[in-house]
Amino acid sequence: MSSLVPISPGGTRTPLFYVGAYLISILELAHLGDELGPDQPLYGLQPRGLDGTEPPAERIEDMAAHYISEMRSVQPHGPYLVGGHCSGSWVAFEIARQLEASGDEVAGVLLVDLGPPGIEPPKISAWRYVFHRIKFFRADGRLWYALAWQAKIAFNRILVRRVGRDAERTTAEVQAAHHRAHGSYEGGVVGCDLVLIRSDETIALGDRSWFLRWDEKTTGTLHVPNSVVGIHSDLLEQPNVRVLASTMCEAIDALTGRNSVPRSTSRAEIENAGTSLPT
């Protein structure tokens, strides 16, 4: 089974190779492809092992190397444009690192709602963590939605792997392998620009301000557009995916030279002035 899934392969722009989160199906990128428009090619990258014929990769480095080989079947040479949704961001980052190491040009990496690898998040007590999230989701009216999402994750990690149907168990095993891989990945540094796209939820939760430390993972520039309406788990659903796609299109235009790239802005300026980078 190919890992490269043509979501919307038509168009004249630089193709975007997008790594989905390991907890969602690559088919959930369909709305994103529609909203990016007919001129923006979008290819999803899904894990090996979902068909049960081969074992899943246990290292992010191996995932990235495999994805690069599939990307080259569509685009043999750079500049490459890659992106990742949630946990897929780390794989996209590693793809960029390996491409640069092989001498290929990378136009940039789109990172959606995840902090950087190899950087320890700030410690927060369990009660404070729970309090902040209950307060946020109650105010947003999505408390039960958030609880259901966490229950689904726990169900997949524990019960489905033991008593689920064969296909469900295979998917759960692949997800577990990716979870282990993310637990051991340290990353490195790239030279290309990074674009960090954050949800309203991430902006509202102060303990996630460390996401801005992506600026330590590049010798280029970290660009931080305005936040995307919604919470982390529904960014690919309507109507929020429309805002996500619009933000991504603007970033792609900047990274590929269609529009001017925002000037370099320090982390302190972003934190003090809001989430939008000046142009």
Q: What is the CATH number of the domain that holds 218?
A: 3.40.50.1820
Q: What is the pLDDT of residues 123-137, one digit of tens each?
A: 765 666 566 556 655
> Which whole number is the average pLDDT over 226-254?
90
Task: List beta partners, residue 84.
Answer: 19, 111
Q: Is residue 278 part of a domain?
A: no
Q: What is the pTM of this model?
A: 0.81
Q: Note whether residue 150 is domain-resident.
A: no
Mean of pLDDT values over 177-199: 93
CB 189 within 8 A of CB 219: yes
pLDDT, residue 135, reads: 60
Respond yes or no on whether the N-terminal peptide bond of residue 79 is cis (omega within 30° of 0): yes
pLDDT above 60: residue 22: yes
What is the C-alpha separation between 105 and 97, in angstroms, rounded? 10
Question: What is the Cβ-side half-sphere exposure of residue 18, based on CA atoms within 13 angstroms?
Answer: 34
Quote the mean pLDDT of the chain: 82
Q: Which domain holds residue 78?
A: 4-123+182-273
User: pLDDT grade, residue 163 (50/70/90)?
Assistant: very low
In a domain, 269, yes or no: yes
pLDDT recorded at residue 127: 62
Q: What is the pLDDT, as a whole number, of residue 31?
A: 95
The model's confidence at residue 97, banded by pLDDT at 50, 70 and 90, is: very high
Q: Is residue 37 part of a domain?
A: yes
Whether 176 is in a domain gets the answer: no
Element (H, E) at 164: none
Residue 154 lies in a domain: no
In 3D space, the residue among 24, 101, 27 whose CA is nearest the CA of residue 61 turns out to be 101
Residue 175 CA to residue 221 CA, distance in Å, equals 32
Alpha-carbon distance 37 to 208, whole Å?
A: 31
pLDDT for residue 15: 97
Per-residue pLDDT at 131: 61
Q: What pLDDT does 230 receive?
A: 79
Average pLDDT over residues 69-98: 97
How many domains does the chain divide into? 1
Q: How confident is the model at residue 117 (pLDDT cuts 50, 70, 90)?
A: very high
Kindly state the helix (H) or strand (E) to which residue 43 belongs, with its residue range.
Answer: strand 42-45
In a domain, 9, yes or no: yes
> Has residue 278 got a pLDDT over 50?
no
Q: Is residue 134 part of a domain?
A: no
